[in-house]
């Protein structure tokens, strides 16, 4: 973990582009609330296969205009070089300086006619097209990406993205700090020298969280699962437990040198604000 201590701490909040007008109004409020915490940037997700392309773009521009920088996510699966070139140009023209570069996942049933296979190819393409204009963040998986052949191959694939020009990484969420510490130590041994910021998922709705975690390969420790199940419909108690556990996780990460935190906000302010307050940030 030693190498991570040298980086300034980066704090960021992730949104998804709202689908409805009500969602839009609600996101504006959440954005205002979380802006008070003065994060380094807000990031906005990009739907698989480009499904939210315009909405991601609109949300990013609105955030950027409000004064705190915005980082669009950009996934390359099912995309062509021309598509990506156009998107990069629009972002450059609007003064966007950060991008979260991803492969993405194809929705089931969709066939890829894309020109990119993996995120390292996207990072390489962004560098070819835009030089050093963008600060590029990529994804990292302390608990191993679900499609990876094994942990070592996954780590080598992560290094490909770094070698292609990534400046920083944001991890998939996890609740086991040791997974992150081991991952960062393994990266150090491969001479990977970029900040690896832990992705933090507050607990909003635990049945949804269980389902999503099974899909994306994030482990929910048995003791947490069992405790959460006991809350049944008592959403408030489950959230309070979540705030407690996740605050403890964040504190341990920061105390041990993690270079900041990236919160998956799910477009909600409450749990993030509560964790932030507990951390005295």
CB of 104 to ligand FAD, least distance (A): 4
Among 10, 34, 48, 224, binds ligand FAD (CB under 6 A): 48
CB of 179 to ligand FAD, least distance (A): 13
Q: Which stretch binds ligand FAD (CB under 6 A): 20-28, 95-103, 232-240, 265-273?
A: 95-103
Which residue shows structure tokens 């990977």? 192
* Gap between the Cα atoms of 250 and 269, Å rounded: 17
Tokens of 44: 């906005």
Among 96, 170, 200, 261, binds ligand FAD (CB under 6 A): 170
Where b means 16+ CB within 10 Å and e means fewer, 1-27 reads eebbeebeebbbbbbbbbeeeeeeeeb
Residue 7 makes contact with ligand FAD by CB under 6 A: no
On whether the CB atoms of residues 206 and 234 are closer than 8 A, the answer is: no
* Gap between the Cα atoms of 185 and 147, Å rounded: 22
Q: Which stretch binds ligand FAD (CB under 6 A): 96-104, 184-192, 236-244, 250-258?
A: 96-104
Asked if 14 is an active-site residue, the reply is: yes
Among 199, 242, 260, 271, binds ligand FAD (CB under 6 A): 199
Nearer to ligand FAD, 149 or 235 (CB): 149
Residue 239 makes contact with ligand FAD by CB under 6 A: no
Q: Strand 41-44 and strand 70-75: pairing?
A: parallel
| CB neighbours of residue 98 within 10 Å | 19
Tokens of 147: 């499609």
Catalytic residue set = 14
Residues that bind ligand FAD (CB under 6 A): 45-46, 48, 73, 75, 100, 102-105, 118-120, 139, 145, 147-148, 153-154, 157, 160-161, 170, 172, 199
């Amino acid at each position: 973990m030693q190498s991570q201590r040298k980086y300034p701490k980066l704090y960021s909040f992730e949104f998804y582009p709202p689908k409805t007008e009500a969602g839009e109004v609600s996101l504006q409020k959440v954005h205002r609330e979380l802006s008070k915490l003065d994060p380094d940037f807000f990031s906005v997700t990009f739907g698989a296969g480009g499904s939210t392309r315009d909405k991601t773009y609109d949300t990013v521009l609105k955030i950027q205009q409000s004064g705190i920088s915005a980082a669009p996510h950009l996934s390359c699966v099912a995309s062509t070089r021309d598509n990506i070139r156009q998107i990069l140009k629009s972002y450059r023209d609007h003064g966007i300086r950060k991008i979260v570069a991803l492969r993405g996942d194809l929705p089931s049933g969709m066939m890829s006619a894309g020109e990119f296979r993996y995120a390292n190819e996207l990072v390489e393409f962004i560098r070819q097209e835009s030089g050093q204009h963008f600060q590029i963040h990529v994804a990292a998986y302390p608990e191993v990406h679900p499609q990876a052949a094994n942990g070592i191959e996954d780590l080598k694939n992560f290094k490909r993205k770094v070698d292609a020009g990534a400046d920083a990484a944001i991890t998939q969420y996890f609740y086991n700090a040791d997974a992150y510490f081991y991952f960062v130590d393994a990266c150090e041994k491969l001479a990977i020298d970029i900040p690896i910021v832990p992705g933090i998922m507050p607990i909003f709705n635990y049945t949804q969280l269980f389902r999503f975690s099974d899909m994306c390969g994030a482990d929910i420790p048995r003791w947490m699962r069992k405790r959460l199940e006991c809350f049944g419909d008592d959403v408030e108690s489950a959230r309070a437990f979540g705030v407690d556990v996740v605050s403890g996780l964040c504190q341990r990460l920061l105390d041990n040198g993690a270079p900041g935190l990236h919160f998956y906000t799910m477009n909600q302010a409450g749990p993030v604000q509560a964790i932030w307050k507990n951390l005295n940030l």
